[in-house]
Amino acid sequence: MIDIKLIRENRNLVKENIKNKFQDEKLPLVDEVYELDIKVREAQTKADQLKADKNKKSSEIGKLMQEGKKEEAEQVKAKIKEMADEIASLESIQEETGKRIKEIMMVIPNIMDPSVPIGHDDSENVEVERFGEPVVPTYEIPYHADIIARVNGMDKEAAGRTSGQGFYYLLGDIARLHEAMLAYARDFMIDHGFTYAIPPFMIHGDVVTGVMSFPEMEAMMYKIEGEDLYLIGTSEHSMIGKFKDQILKKEELPIQMTSYSPCFRKEGGSHGLEERGLYRVHQFEKQEMIVICEPEESMDWYEKMWKYTVEIFRNFDIPVRQLECCSGDLADLKVKSCDIEAWSPRQKKYFEVASCSNLGDAQARRLGVRTKGEKGTYYLHTLNNTVVASPRGLIALVENNYQEDGSIKIPKVLQPYMGGKEKIEVKK
């Protein structure tokens, strides 16, 4: 949510930003908010003046009564009653108009960073840099579900019986490898100064609307029937929500936290669920990172954060690339965002395994996350980034470390988490 002052002072900038996101249907909303804001402020000014006049007249009543001017005092009382009714009417206008303004402001997109490439959708995202040489071995790389099946590492059929499509059992060494990735990612972030956290896995509706846009919420979130609770789609939601309505001390900034959680997503739409494999599922686990910082520091943190993910995947012997999200693919709350994509030697292309986002003060403004400085109280900036999400990360690891004999080589950094084991053998 942007500052309404921006619409008061520079409507053209807000409109140009909307055009660059190819959301022209939202352009009339800018003028609507502008006019409604004038209406609210005029009502506020008139109400304030009436309150001052009402207080002044109220002080006259006692004096008139003391002077025996009862009739005049009653006339003043009647006038005060008229003023009170008009003030109530003006306050009602402010309340109703204010609600409409908030509704509109919640759907007007955040102002993008000037460096964001202009494009209609994810097909126009821009590759920025590659890390590691993408290799296609001389032997065939099977589908990841088949690789895992050869080591008895997954059972989707049983999960279908217990939970339906979009769920899975991970078993044996594969389950252990899954946890090893997350544990390594956790320790990596702790070593880089992040505080480890395990957050609530359910959050209230006002936290949901504070951290994401309505279309995202509808497409992603599972609601608990009969309660004001939603299952989190990522721990960023509850981690940022932790600071709702807080004024943080400047000496505590920046706040750097890394969190583990299961994540739950509807995964509806045209792409559908993954019938055999693990690309699109209803439940997965993730190590996340968030930063809350001073506005002038957020772009520096953005650059640091996505590079942490690159380093981790390179330590897993996985080639990756950074893909800059274009304007049409950028969620409304985001200032700038990029995906980290891992190389798939089977598909001979990259696929998304992480996403890093700078949201400016959009989430902080919705949730009331502030600090106090010399010039008063102001909103902070929030950022989030996937450290490792599994099973997406697991798929990348399995494919890139698959050996010709069907075994899976375990990267050196993960071997201590696997009891020293160097590879996962095919089960006979």
Q: Tell me the per-residue pLDDT of 293-307, one tens digit each, with 9 for 90 and over.
A: 999 999 999 999 999
- The predicted pLDDT at position 388 comes to 96
Mean pLDDT of 55-65: 75
247 lies in some domain? yes
Domains in the chain, number: 2
User: What mean pLDDT, rounded, does the chain reach?
Assistant: 92
The H-assigned helical ranges of 249-297 are none
Query: For residues 156 and 76, which has the higher predicted lDDT (pLDDT)?
Result: 156
Give the range among 4-13, 118-127, 265-274, 372-381 with minimum mean pLDDT. Answer: 265-274
- pLDDT-derived band at 403, boundaries 50, 70, 90: very high
pLDDT of residue 272: 57
Higher-pLDDT residue of 296 and 268 is 296
The answer as to whether 117 is a domain residue is no
Q: What is the C-alpha separation between 129 and 202, in angstroms, rounded?
A: 36
> Does residue 110 lie within any of the structural domains?
no
Q: Is 111 domain-assigned?
A: no
Question: Quick check: is 231 in a domain?
Answer: yes
Among candidate residues 197, 217, 211, 212, the one with its CA nearest the CA of residue 288: 197
Say what the pLDDT of residue 83 is.
86
| Most distant CA pair in the chain, distance | 109
User: Does residue 179 sit in the same domain as residue 220?
Assistant: yes
**Position 39: which residue type?**
K
Q: Are residues 293 and 384 in the same domain?
A: yes
Above 70 in pLDDT, residue 199? yes
Same domain, 77 and 128: no
170 CA to centre of own chain:
28
User: What percentage of the chain reaches a pLDDT higher than 70?
Assistant: 98
396 shares a domain with 279? yes
172-191 vs 298-315: helix crossing angle, rounded to 10: 140
> Token pair 């959680």 is at which residue?
261
List, for residues 146-170, the tens digit of each pLDDT value. Answer: 999 999 999 999 999 999 988 999 9
Residue 265 has pLDDT above 80, yes or no: yes
Match 């919705």 to its residue by tokens: 366
User: What is the rounded CA–CA span in Å between residue 119 and residue 138?
Assistant: 37
- Domain containing 185 equals 122-424
Strands 381-390 and 349-358: antiparallel
What pLDDT is recorded for position 78? 82
The arithmetic mean of pLDDT across residues 332-355, rounded, is 96
pLDDT of residue 270: 46
What integer pLDDT is reported at residue 214 of this predicted model? 66
**What are the E-state strand segments in 90-138?**
126-131
Q: Are residues 352 and 403 in the same domain?
A: yes
Q: Which of the four pLDDT bands, split at 50, 70 and 90, describes residue 70?
A: confident
Mean per-residue pLDDT, 290-319: 97
Residues 300 and 414 in one domain: yes
Residues 33 and 139 in one domain: no
d(CA 150, CA 141): 13
**C-alpha gyration radius of the chain:** 28
Do 283 and 387 belong together in one domain? yes
Residue pointed to by tokens 């709702």:
244
Confidence of residue 412 (pLDDT cuts 50, 70, 90): very high
Same domain (yes/no): 52, 100: yes
Q: How large is the average pLDDT for residues 357-371?
A: 96
* pTM confidence score: 0.90
